[in-house]
């Protein structure tokens, strides 16, 4: 109501923000009221009629009204076929998605297992190294283990023909300049600097 003329206000076109404000105001008048949410938009066909009136006969010379009956039945049949095709496509898409996700999961699990094995192998090697450093005993490692490690990284490692068993650590000797070196007892083994 207009306060000056005491007449009802004229309805004007609402802007989107004022329309939304009006909807919220009407909802907040009674907050306890149930507000229905949007339902699924899946189409369902109407059930077929129990009694069919005006059954088309086989006589020639159908009237002008029969065209619309035929057109409506054709539309219903096309709609039914389209719904069947849509349902089939949905099922195929879901099946394809499930197979792809299963493949991705298997691939990820295999990669994770490979990385886990690599980490554990590295951890065991470090533990052996620390144990040998603590006890002061030399650690012998055959060249084929290093070739396996190098093969995983793609670099070429020494073979059995080039070098025999290698001594990783014999003793740490303090050189006169303060650096420590691992010294191998024979010329056939390599010396590793640390």
**pTM higher than 0.85, yes or no?**
no
Cβ atoms of 62 and 56 within 8 Å: the answer is yes
- Give the residue from 56, 81, 52, 79 showing the smallest Cα distance to 66: 56
**Would you place residue 106 in the very low, low, confident or very high pLDDT band (cuts 50, 70, 90)?**
very high
d(CA 82, CA 85): 5
Residues 141-159 have pLDDT tens digits of: 554 555 455 454 554 555 5
**Would you place residue 56 in the very low, low, confident or very high pLDDT band (cuts 50, 70, 90)?**
low
């Amino acid at each position: 109501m207009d306060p000056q003329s005491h007449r009802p206000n004229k309805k004007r076109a609402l802007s989107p923000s004022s329309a939304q404000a009006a909807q919220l105001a009407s909802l907040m008048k009674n907050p306890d009221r149930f507000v229905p949410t949007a339902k699924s938009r899946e189409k369902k066909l109407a059930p077929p009629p129990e009694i069919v009136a005006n059954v088309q006969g086989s006589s020639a010379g159908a009237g002008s009204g029969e065209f619309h009956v035929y057109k409506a039945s054709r539309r219903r049949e096309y709609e039914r076929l389209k719904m069947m095709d849509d349902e089939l496509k949905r099922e195929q898409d879901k099946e394809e998605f499930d197979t792809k996700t299963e493949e991705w999961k298997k691939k990820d699990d295999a990669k994770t297992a490979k990385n886990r094995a690599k980490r554990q192998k590295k951890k065991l090697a470090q533990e052996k190294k620390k144990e040998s450093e603590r006890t002061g005993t030399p650690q012998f490692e055959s060249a084929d283990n290093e070739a396996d490690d190098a093969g995983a990284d793609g670099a070429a490692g020494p073979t059995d023909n080039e070098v025999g068993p290698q001594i990783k650590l014999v003793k740490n000797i303090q050189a006169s300049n303060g650096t420590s070196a691992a010294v191998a007892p024979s010329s056939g083994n390599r010396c590793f600097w640390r």
